[in-house]
Structure 1
């Protein structure tokens, strides 16, 4: 019962930052008095916004569980250790996970705790007297809240939509809002964030904060997921040539440089989870380590394709390996790694743009925008450009983009969502070069954590996802 109550409370808990150096905020009861006592000055809001970013480094999110929920779930990678973590990771990979899976529950809780943090800080922004700074903080918090809800709606579908601080008692009456309603809130947050945030930050200390470009790139991904291709095109065209100013995003000449720990937040990166291995609790362990990759993925690269080497592994010490895409060395003091985890980058934008243009209307012109942007990603990696003879219709172009996304973005948490979005997950998993898996359409979503179902105890407003 205690565990169930704690799961429910994570939706409404306010997490308060004791100092900028700490990765996580301190759980406190969700009382208005506590919030009012904390959010008194601009410095308090600054600390709270910092804490909202720090929450992304949680092991229940991008430093851990998301790797399984969003990537190992796909056909790219396979978990072959049914005994590790009580089998919870293995069960996610093999589509055996049920509503009592702790990885699913922890991720759900972390996302709603992070949303609560954003809501509580947004509700107290009036203490910031600098209008420009207040607007920036609002934009950052709304971007982060939208990012959280985008993960939630893609992982679980219908979801409680909470956009302001609430009490634990109030949360018991909040049911699961329809997917369309959740997407509308995401779009509203990102549209507002794009208008509030700067394209770049003048202060180096602010690099890594959400920007207007990050809000637009994420909004375009939302539109693409909803199959609103015209809206996606109109949003993406603001980020690509010749409309790149003032964003200045570009493909780096060498794809390996995008992930170079000595070249963080380079011109290709639009938004990333920031890490610092020299600070306790701000580093991480190996991302994916020495994964079992689908041989079909490795074999899909042409011989000269420079992206293939990024999927090889390097040895960090006697017992630890790391895939080259995320290579770093351990800090001698903290024994942690410090790679940033990229959420949005320019190659992704170009591939989204090519896809959305093709969905609106196929062009047989190899010099058209959709061919040009698709081929620009391939040519950067020294892969052979596609011709209109190879991609002779809309469907062949569509499948080429999906495959190119697999080659360009593996282990970056895009593959599972790409398969679901294009309704190709069932076929991809059944014909994987790893263990073939037959899945049902209901498994495109995860089960809602059983603890939440039991605490709410109201299937009319808070039902379990079908099939579970």
Structure 2
């Protein structure tokens, strides 16, 4: 926890302005002069927002799952985690621990010092504290998900204390997270929209009541508390009391600068102005972004997109043609993934046809080329045509309304209550928005068992939320990671070339491994245990 303890707020507040979350602060501060007015408190809160999440995690999380593969040691060496060949000194394992304890410290500084601000408006004060408590709860939830038991505190602790504090049981910290997300709701505003349909500027990027409810639903869902998860979702579905949310009409448009702050967004990570990222250079074809393509989709993800009739590609009657594999597929497939024959407009306005099969002409994006995708696929979602010099200011959506619908469908199915009404509110609504028209895909089938509906809901979740950093959490909480991560990373089917292929002709990029129960929790980082001998280690590490 060294990074958490040596960080002071007087350095942290230089990172972001609270009035514009994507702009740097230009005011000068000293320790004795701080906490003078409301702006000081808001600036300190902005330092918490700056540490809510990382684009490195958002995109890198896909490479931790069966959705994607990272070619090399990028994204803090997530490939070593995905193939089971890591230890407590792994870069991502170490960084996540330090990152979120820095977040927690910043939030604790706000909650402990805000009373020093003279004559602070009581409503604003409650909101600032509620936002800081939300971000702290978010940080603890992330830590619990990755590490299980973690050190827990809600005050500023000293360096000496940091060297002796032990780990608190996951259940106790989880209870705190859940209680915080409930307690802060009355002090957070309901999201408001301008006439144009987007968030009003004063609320852009900030935590609202809907975000607290949606995160609470996610916490309950991940913990298998189905009724609580369903109840939270119901507070946001077909009601505006806690926020005005709905599905954007066009799936592709959600992930564009032009449609930021749309009614589907519940919580997003803010970019723009002085804060940008260049991650699209690692997942788009190298002819588009002029850099090696290393974060790429897997064949397993491609195979999970259903046909337009709602059937899986392996189901009888699906109509799937292995010689024409991308026709009549879930429309979200084309909105998410580039494949052989896809067209894309590059950053110069030129239309390119992406060719990935070996022997293609030109060969630059094919599996033959060292800098191209080794699977023959590229991610398209989150490609930002508005980027300047490859630097994107596109916000990254952490929670959106579609996820609330999917959480509700899953919770209701696990309760044995996924009926036609729930289906129409959730799966049907998402499929119709995506572009499905076949009744076999959109209408509820009362003859399906709970297990069959579970398969549909989980597949729907994967298709809708692909490349949004959530799949890794799903396969871990469903306890199927030891199944799906113990398979080779596969790419496109080829008939020629010096490729390692499976019996069906699909490229084998790399073998992966996942050992249960060891890999269901990350180890406590070596560096942290060297500093604090009271930190125990997880099973198997």
How big is each residue's C-alpha offset from its partner over 1:20-62, in whole Å with a ceiling of 9 and x where there is no partner?
2777899xxxxxxx86653232111111111211223xxxx42
Distance 2:25 2:468 in 1: 26
How big is each residue's C-alpha offset from its partner over 1:219-259, in whole Å with a ceiling of 9 and x where there is no partner?
01001111111111111100001x23451211111111111
- Length-normalised TM-score, structure 2: 0.75
Alignment counterpart, residue 8 of structure 2, candidates 7, 14, 37:
14
Distance 1:373 1:14 in 2: 45
Distance 1:349 1:75 in 2: 23
Which residue number corresponds to residue 31 of structure 1? none
Q: Structure 1 residue 259 and structure 2 residue 255: aligned?
A: yes
Which residue number corresponds to residue 206 of structure 1? 203
The farther-off stretch of 309-318 and 202-211 is 309-318
How big is each residue's C-alpha offset from its partner over 1:144-167, in whole Å with a ceiling of 9 and x where there is no partner?
111111111001111011211111
Which residue number corresponds to residue 30 of structure 1? none
Tell me: CA distance 1:66–1:246, structure 2 relative to 1, closer, same or farther (3 Å). Answer: closer
Distance 1:24 1:180 in 2: 38
Q: Structure 1 residue 351 and structure 2 residue 406: aligned?
A: yes
**Rg: which structure is higher?**
2
The CA deviation at 1:178 is: 0.6
Residues 147-186 of structure 1: matches in 2 within 5 Å?
147-186=138-177
Distance 1:65 1:443 in 2: 18
Q: Structure 1 residue 381 and structure 2 residue 434: aligned?
A: yes
Distance 1:142 1:320 in 2: 43
Distance 1:426 1:330 in 2: 40
Alignment counterpart, residue 67 of structure 1, candidates 52, 59, 67:
59
Aligned to 2:257, the other structure's residue is in SS state coil
Distance 1:141 1:465 in 2: 29
Aligned to 1:166, the other structure's residue is in SS state coil
Equivalent pair of 1:362/1:394 in contact (CA under 8 Å) = no
Aligned to 1:446, the other structure's residue is in SS state coil
Distance 1:452 1:360 in 2: 41
Tell me: CA distance 1:409–1:11, structure 2 relative to 1, closer, same or farther (3 Å). Answer: farther
How big is each residue's C-alpha offset from its partner over 1:413-435, in whole Å with a ceiling of 9 and x where there is no partner?
11010111111111222346634
Which residue number corresponds to residue 384 of structure 2? 328
Distance 2:140 2:347 in 1: 36
Tell me: CA distance 1:186–1:37, structure 2 relative to 1, closer, same or farther (3 Å). Answer: farther
How big is each residue's C-alpha offset from its partner over 1:285-318, in whole Å with a ceiling of 9 and x where there is no partner?
1245233212132233332532112223554479
The CA deviation at 1:402 is: 1.2
Alignment counterpart, residue 244 of structure 2, candidates 223, 244, 248:
248
Q: Structure 1 residue 191 and structure 2 residue 176: aligned?
A: no
Alignment counterpart, residue 102 of structure 1, candidates 88, 91, 112:
91
Which residue number corresponds to residue 79 of structure 1? 70
The farther-off stretch of 290-299 and 414-423 is 290-299
Equivalent pair of 1:362/1:393 in contact (CA under 8 Å) = no
Residues 390-409 of structure 1: matches in 2 within 5 Å?
392-409=448-465
Distance 1:223 1:421 in 2: 11
Tell me: CA distance 1:10–1:320, structure 2 relative to 1, closer, same or farther (3 Å). Answer: farther
- Length-normalised TM-score, structure 1: 0.86
Which residue number corresponds to residue 512 of structure 2? 437
Distance 1:455 1:193 in 2: 34
How big is each residue's C-alpha offset from its partner over 1:361-401, in whole Å with a ceiling of 9 and x where there is no partner?
244x4x231454122112211232253256x2212212211
Distance 1:339 1:398 in 2: 33
Alignment counterpart, residue 142 of structure 1, candidates 133, 139, 152:
133
The CA deviation at 1:260 is: 1.7
Aligned to 2:205, the other structure's residue is in SS state coil
Residues 411-422 of structure 1: matches in 2 within 5 Å?
411-422=467-478
Tell me: CA distance 1:104–1:24, structure 2 relative to 1, closer, same or farther (3 Å). Answer: farther
Indicate the structure with greater helix content.
1
Tell me: CA distance 1:348–1:181, structure 2 relative to 1, closer, same or farther (3 Å). Answer: same
Alignment counterpart, residue 118 of structure 1, candidates 107, 112, 115:
107
Where does structure 1 lack aligned partners over 5 or more consecutive residues? 1-6, 27-33
Distance 1:25 1:54 in 2: 12
The CA deviation at 1:102 is: 2.0
Distance 1:329 1:463 in 2: 47
Q: Structure 1 residue 309 and structure 2 residue 346: aligned?
A: no
Distance 2:107 2:24 in 1: 14
4+ long deviations beyond 6 Å: 21-26, 317-322
Aligned to 2:183, the other structure's residue is in SS state helix
Distance 2:166 2:489 in 1: 41
Aligned to 2:403, the other structure's residue is in SS state helix
Distance 1:305 1:389 in 2: 22
